[in-house]
Chains A and B, each alone.
Chain A
């Protein structure tokens, strides 16, 4: 039932309105709304009950194992939320004077410096509000760098064909064309193809390492040499930073610019789709182009840097300071982890993934890249099950929901047929991993006996499988008071 269907004309929530009725009679009528907006008219309790009950229709980390590859669904410590929502932070106006904002600015400054240190970059800006905006900032800095040198012919961004969709979309937004570099069977970039592709038109190469195929790119130093040799810059997509946190630093691998998804590696909540934060870090030569604002420290005082400090900045990406509250949560998380804890994150994320991979193999599932170490995630291909049992990766995914597990990422990366990309993260206990692998095995057994059982899943959720073809053909995107037919 929709909240609108609980509505009754004239029902209102008096406790939430100012006592005095105020007049707007001085505003000329031509500026005023003709008809009141059709929002629901419900009591506070009805709203609370409705949205509480809706919440119970969600899977979440707090309720389920959620091994969604490339998304790093780890435990979101409650302390991060509580401390970021202290009144002193929550009531701070974004343009309050710096002198009255030193506590917040100190957190931001230290966050910048911790991120720089753990990634091996020279400086960080916290401005981008999500990974994709971090990518935008990074690629815009690459563009600005070449332009500042009068190197105007660099119009092409290279990507491995396993790249996340945001990479090519971002390159296009920044005015670049895109060329894909093939990957080898073992998951590494095809070096020979890369050598042929680079040239005076190359602006940069965007790489995720470990890659979206769940393996560490062993030729990274060679790649850096080739790209730099051609005059291009190397971009690190931090989607998989959790795999190597504190173990190896993108700066040491030769990357010139990186974005870090704080909502993945640094455990800020995904919130059913956001908000995220996509802080960007740069090597020394890209520092002048960082997006604003950036926090700096003078003596004992913190202040915002402006265009006066960074005249070559690519500019600002939001009206104020990006997703400040998300940044505070990441700050709390990083301080809790500390130096030792960061390294342990990578170690246990990797241990969990490799353990699951070993278990998958033992239970007879085919691995997409069988002869490599997994990073923090790995891929099972269900192409044999699809061929022999006529159940797809999507069917497995839906059946997993019935068994109490959120499905892994399906059909990504696009290169691997019928794939499940599985990322357990370091916060899951062994029994959750074992339970999940047993569930996968159970589904395969079910499919052998009765494929339709698996193909019809899920059965235990609020709805059965949904008709997304109908959703796209007969668009119904908003409830209307009187349905227009």
Chain B
């Protein structure tokens, strides 16, 4: 059931104008023995009514569980207005704003987004978005290697408290350019990486290190000593890449405030600012940097300028960095980004404002404190670390995590993230999270269910 408007009459007129008898004649340049036969693997087309019935059935196969799962994707409240406006056709069905005069809506919105992200991160410059947080870290690493001219090693220190999926993705993307990701182990008691461990790894690598990555809060939810690591790195001409959850920046120190002079690059996933969980995407990656690195920035950037009459307007700028001009020497191959999700996020940030985000972030923290207190009171459940945390925390369990989580799932509770695959040294451990969406009743229900399951 394709969306094709042509009448028989029009088809005949068009064929006549072209000078052929039938549509197949238009494919005469294709060697005939290569033409495809029937597409046996593709079902018959469906009407909207039929596909609608099918998709409702598929969606209803997913039970509505109470979510205590975070680990990089968080269930937050999104004002109804956000996606109502975002899915207006003028945003939804527009292309990349290459014709600036006909794209002032998207361009101005993107400029406003860049302004909001620089305000949140305390950095000078933001781009118009990357794909997601994990691939944004990869781009940040590539950017640091280009930007740190004092270092020749192409070695990046990456604590294991950085999201495991981010580390994997970064490895996939940067390995072709002979960049080495050097792991730094975390402290078993505190669940954060110590400056000493970072120093030792740097020395083991011969001293020349290009950049260090710090995630704040780290994957375990714990708060890293970002100030002392940043200052040490800068004393040694090492760039600092901050991986941050933008919602937590309503409360936590911005990367621009880390140490004496701030991180050099800040990146992360924008999902907590207005993107629904949506099975993993689309979210968006953000990347911000100090002014001196702006020409190393990947992807699109919008700038404010004037038109022929001197009236304010917006354009894509610094395009000579990008693949369509610079080709094999571009800062990145990125072209399409996550514009529509950025649209949602910009509206989300505008409606909530800094205070609204602060309230949401505080509620996340308070709920998680309550969750941790109630769960760790259960026999067979203990806190893994003794550091301050934000809205996630690690709990050790006396039974295998996979069994416990499966039993909770049967009670429609998504109890957390099983850490045993990525962190076998922790034994049976889970990462839990309670956002502002969780109620005291739900937290209580989780504690009760966990007590039953683990008994």
Q: Which of chain A's residues 174-233 have a Cβ closer than 8 Å to chain B?
A: 174-176, 178, 215-216, 218, 220-221
Q: How far is the CA of A166 from the CA of B322 in the complex (A)?
A: 9
With a cutoff of 8 Å between Cβ atoms, the chain A residues found around residue B322 in the complex are 165
Cβ-defined partner of B64 (8 Å) among A51, A91, A249, A407: A91
Tell me the chain A residues, 155-172 only, with Cβ under 8 Å from chain B. 164-166, 168-172
CB distance B101 to A463 under 8 Å?
A: yes
Q: Could you write out 20 A-B pairs with CB less than 8 Å apart? A: A16-B77, A18-B436, A31-B388, A54-B108, A56-B90, A73-B95, A81-B92, A91-B67, A93-B75, A107-B55, A140-B172, A165-B323, A169-B327, A244-B30, A263-B336, A274-B338, A317-B135, A344-B2, A351-B23, A359-B17
Q: Which residues of A contact B339 (CB under 8 A)?
A: 270-275
Contacts of A100 in B (CB 8 A): 62-63, 65, 409
Does A101 interact with chain B (Cβ within 8 Å)? yes
Q: Mark A404-444, 1 if CB is under 8 A from B, else 0.
A: 00110000100000000000001111100000000000000
B30 touches A477 (CB 8 A): no
Q: Which residues of A contact B54 (CB under 8 A)?
A: 335
What residues on B are CB-neighbors of A334 within 8 Å? Answer: 42
Q: Mark A94-134, 1 if CB is under 8 A from B, else 0.
A: 11110111111011000001101110100000000111110
Q: Is the CB of A464 closer than 8 A to any CB of chain B?
A: yes
Decide: A91 and B26 in contact? CB cutoff 8 A. no
Contacts of A66 in B (CB 8 A): 95
Collect the chain B residues with CB atoms within 8 Å of residue A252's CB. 34, 36
Closest Cβ of chain A: how far from B183's Cβ, in Å?
Answer: 16
Q: Which of A30-48 contact B (CB under 8 A)?
A: 30-34, 36-42, 44, 47-48
Closest Cβ–Cβ distance, residue B13 to chain A (whole Å):
7
Rounded to whole angstroms, the CA-CA distance of A103 and B2 in the bound complex is 24
Interface status of A150 (Cβ within 8 A of chain B): no
Q: Which residues on A sit within 8 Å (CB–CB) of B125? A: 477-478
Q: Tell me if B311 is interfacial: C-beta within 8 Å of chain A.
A: yes
**Given A133-B131, A358-B19, A478 and B124 contact (CB-CB distance below 8 Å):** yes
**Cα distance A24–B96 when bound, in Å?**
41
Interface residue? A269 (CB, 8 A) = yes
Q: Across the interface, which residues of A come within 8 angstroms of B349, CB to CB?
A: 39
Total chain A interface residues with beta-carbon distance under 8 A: 200
* Chain A min CB distance to B344 (Å): 10
Contact indicator B340/A456 (Cβ below 8 Å): no
Which residues of B (60-83) have their CB < 8 Å from a CB of A? Answer: 60-65, 67, 69, 71-73, 75, 77, 79, 81, 83
- B169-A319 in contact (CB<8A): yes
Interface residue A276 (Cβ < 8 Å from any Cβ of B): yes
For residue A338, CB closer than 8 A to chain B, the reply is yes
Contact with A along B228-255 (1 / 0, CB 8 A): 0000000000000000000001111110
Partner of A315, one of B169, B317, B365: B169
Q: Does B93 contact A (CB under 8 A)?
A: yes
Q: Does B186 contact A (CB under 8 A)?
A: no
Residues of chain A within 8 A of B326, CB atoms compared = 165, 169
B126 near A477 (CB under 8 angstroms)?
A: yes
Residues in chain A near residue B52, CB distance under 8 A:
79, 83
Interface residues in B27-58 (C-beta closer than 8 Å to A) = 27-31, 34-36, 38-48, 51-52, 54-58
A318 touches B135 (CB 8 A): yes
Docked complex Cα distance between A7 and B338 (Å): 27
Instruction: Report whether A32 and B253 are in contact in the complex, using a CB–CB cutoff of 8 Å.
Output: yes
Q: Does A311 contact B (CB under 8 A)?
A: no
Residue B257 contacts which of A13, A34, A107 (CB distance < 8 angstroms)? A34
The answer to whether B11 and A351 have CB atoms under 8 Å apart is yes
Q: Chain B residues near A342: list those with CB within 8 A.
A: 2, 39, 42
B2 touches A341 (CB 8 A): yes
A75 within 8 A of B: yes
Further pairs besides A31-B253, A318-B281: 16, Cβ < 8 Å: A17-B359, A24-B361, A26-B369, A27-B251, A47-B350, A55-B105, A59-B99, A83-B51, A140-B172, A168-B323, A247-B36, A343-B39, A373-B26, A464-B307, A475-B303, A479-B304
Please state if B106 and A33 are interface contacts (CB–CB under 8 Å): no
Asked if residues A348 and B2 are in contact (CB atoms below 8 Å), the reply is: yes
Segment of A280-288, A324-332, A381-389, A446-454 in the binding face: A324-332
Residue A458, interface by CB 8 Å: yes
Q: Which listed residue, A76, A86, A170, touches B92 by the CB 8 Å rule? A: A76
Closest beta carbon of chain A to B323's beta carbon, Å: 4
Distance, CA A68 to CA B96, complexed state (A): 11
Please, how many angstroms separate the alpha-carbon atoms of A93 and B68 in the complex? 10
Enumerate B338-379 residues with CB–CB distance to A below 8 Å: 338-343, 346-347, 349-363, 365-367, 369
A33/B280 contact (C-beta < 8 A), A95-B69, A247-B27, A465-B101 known: no
Inter-chain contacts of A136 with B (CB < 8 A): 173, 333
